[in-house]
A = this chain, B = another copy of it.
Amino acid sequence: MAESPRFQPVQPVRAYERIVEQVEDALARGDLAPGQRLPSERELVAQFAVSRSTVREALRVLESNGVVRSRPGDPNGPEILPFSSTALRKQLVRLARVDELTLAELIGFRMIMDGAAIQVASRLRTPAQLTELTDTLTAMRTAIDVDFAAFSEADLAFHDVIARISRNSLIETCNEVVRGVVLSLISNKIAHAPNSRALMLESLQHHTEVVDAIRDGDGTAAARIARQNMYDYYAGYVPEAEREALQALID
CB distance from A109 to the nearest CB of B (A): 5
Residue of A112, A171, A251 ringed by the most chain B CB atoms within 10 A: A112
Q: Which residues of B contact A171 (CB under 8 A)?
A: 105, 108-109, 112
Nearest B residue to A242, CB-CB: B167
Chain A: number of interface residues, binned into ranges: 35 or more
Q: Which residues of B contact A112 (CB under 8 A)?
A: 112-113, 116, 171
Any chain B CB within 8 A of the CB of A198?
A: no
Nearest B residue to A80, CB-CB: B98
Number of copies of this protein chain within its complex:
2
CB distance from A197 to the nearest CB of B (A): 22
Give the docked Cα–Cα distance between A91 and B101 (Å): 19
B87 with A91: CB separation less than 8 A? yes
Give the residue of B67, B88, B174, B244 whose beta carbon is less than 8 angstroms from that of A124: B244
With A27-B98, A108-B171 known to touch, is A219 a contact of B245 (CB < 8 Å)? no
With A60-B16, A124-B245, A251-B220 known to touch, is A98 a contact of B119 (CB < 8 Å)? no
Q: Which residues of B contact A126 (CB under 8 A)?
A: none
Q: Which residues of B contact A244 (CB under 8 A)?
A: 124
Q: Which residues of B contact A166 (CB under 8 A)?
A: 245
A95 with B88: CB separation less than 8 A? yes
Give the residue of B98, B248, B249 whose beta carbon is less than 8 angstroms from that of A83: B98
**Residues from 64 to 98 in A contacting B, C-beta threshold 8 Å:** 64-65, 67, 72, 82-83, 85, 87-88, 90-92, 94-95, 97-98
Give the residue of B83, B97, B120 whose beta carbon is less than 8 angstroms from that of A95: B83
Nearest B residue to A248, CB-CB: B123
B251 with A170: CB separation less than 8 A? no
Q: Which residues of B contact A242 (CB under 8 A)?
A: 167
B119 with A245: CB separation less than 8 A? no
Give the docked Cα–Cα distance between A120 and B242 (Å): 12
Any chain B CB within 8 A of the CB of A61?
A: yes
Give the docked Cα–Cα distance between A88 and B90 (Å): 9
B248 with A124: CB separation less than 8 A? yes
Give the docked Cα–Cα distance between A171 and B112 (Å): 10
Give the docked Cα–Cα distance between A65 and B220 (Å): 39
Any chain B CB within 8 A of the CB of A173?
A: yes
Give the residue of B12, B101, B249 whose beta carbon is less than 8 angstroms from that of A169: B101
Give the docked Cα–Cα distance between A16 and B61 (Å): 12
Q: Which residues of B contact A97 (CB under 8 A)?
A: 27-28
A168 with B108: CB separation less than 8 A? yes
